[in-house]
């Protein structure tokens, strides 16, 4: 099913950064919040389970252009599953996060992909599969190869990370930002000359918690 027109458009006005919505999805405790906090604040500490959804914004400088990411960190607990659907509407990108030491979380990430496939047209959203907690390699239940092969079979980006060790965390976000800008550029060059690209204006409050 397609979402409402315009909501998933990468957007800009002249001189303004592109604005894109990125949503993190995945089982509880896979490290979604930790990845966001590592990226936003260079911090890693024990965090409480997310309630509903937490919202952050960050401008990613990509040299000649920049991208404003609206980052929606959803709650992984099952009781919030249905409400998470509300949060991924209008997304331009999604991180499907699993914990490499928990096979069940890998399966859950695959279920999230099925949910995204129902909501969006193929290629409409940049999706990256993220295997977190590589520092716990001795407890690994999902091999790098398994993650990579699944991602390739579904045409997803793929990376493994450790929020704890700050391994490939910023790379996840910059790779997604790069892909979003690339697609925005492709879309811009295929749109008619002089055609305005509509802006997803003002996000909600910065760093706010939003609950069901
Ligand atoms: N060893 C290790 N622990 C991690 C890593 N990332 C997160 N954790 C820990 O895993 C636990 C869960 O992390 P969260 O970031 O709260 O996980 P979440 O996916 O946001 O969980 P929900 O809010 O319930 O959806 C915390 O104790 C974190 O400290 C990592 O890369 N390595």
- 56 has which bridge partners? 71
- Measured by CA distance, the residue closest to atom 1 of ligand 1 is 133
- Measured by CA distance, the residue closest to atom 32 of ligand 1 is 133
CA of 45 to the centre of ligand 1 (A): 9
Residue 204 reports pLDDT greater than 60? no
| Low-confidence winner among 31-45, 61-75, 127-141 (lowest mean pLDDT) | 61-75
pLDDT of the residue at 18: 81
pTM score: 0.84
Instruction: Specify the ligand 1 atom closest to the Cα of 163.
Output: 31
Residue 179 reports pLDDT greater than 60? yes
What ipTM is given for this predicted complex?
A: 0.99
Share above pLDDT 90 across residues of the chain, in percent, rounded to a whole number:
56
CA separation (Å) from 43 to 13, 124, 163, 178? 33, 32, 9, 24
pLDDT of the residue at 188: 62
The average confidence (pLDDT) of the chain is 82
Q: Which of 23, 33, 34 to mutate to test the pocket of ligand 1 (most atoms within 8 A of CB)?
A: 34
Instruction: Answer yes or no: are the C-beta atoms of 206 and 56 closer than 8 Å.
Output: yes
CA of 163 to the centre of ligand 1 (A): 8
Pocket of ligand 1 from Cβ distances under 6 Å: 26, 28-34, 46-47, 49-50, 75-77, 132-133, 135-136, 162-164
Residue 183 reports pLDDT greater than 90? no
Instruction: Answer yes or no: are the C-beta atoms of 24 and 97 closer than 8 Å.
Output: yes
Token pair listed for 9 = 């458009």
Residue 130 reports pLDDT greater than 80? yes
Instruction: Answer yes or no: are the C-beta atoms of 113 and 127 closer than 8 Å.
Output: yes
Residue 160 reports pLDDT greater than 50? yes
CA of 113 to the centre of ligand 1 (A): 21
- Measured by CA distance, the residue closest to atom 25 of ligand 1 is 76
CA of 24 to the centre of ligand 1 (A): 13
β-pairing verdict for 157-160 and 93-99: unpaired
CA of 31 to the centre of ligand 1 (A): 3
Give the other-Cβ count within 10 Å of 44's Cβ: 17
């Amino acid at each position: 099913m397609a979402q409402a027109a315009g909501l998933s458009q990468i957007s800009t006005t002249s001189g303004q950064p592109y604005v894109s919505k990125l949503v993190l999805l995945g089982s509880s405790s896979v490290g979604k919040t930790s990845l966001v906090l590592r990226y936003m604040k260079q911090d890693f500490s024990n965090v409480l389970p997310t309630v509903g959804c937490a919202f952050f914004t960050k401008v990613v400088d990509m040299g000649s252009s920049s991208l404003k990411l609206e980052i929606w960190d959803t709650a992984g607990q099952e009781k919030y599953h249905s409400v998470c659907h509300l949060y991924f509407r209008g997304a331009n990108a999604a991180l499907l996060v699993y914990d490499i030491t928990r096979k069940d979380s890998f399966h859950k990430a695959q279920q999230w992909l099925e949910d995204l496939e129902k909501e969006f047209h193929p290629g409409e959203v940049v999706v990256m599969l993220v295997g977190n907690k590589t520092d716990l390699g001795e407890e690994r239940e999902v091999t790098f190869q398994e993650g990579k092969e699944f991602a390739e079979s579904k045409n997803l980006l793929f990376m493994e990370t450790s929020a704890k060790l700050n391994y490939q965390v910023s790379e996840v976000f910059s790779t997604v930002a790069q892909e979003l800008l690339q697609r925005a550029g492709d879309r811009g060059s295929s749109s008619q000359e002089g055609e305005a690209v509509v802006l997803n204006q003002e996000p909600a409050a910065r760093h706010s918690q939003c609950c069901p």
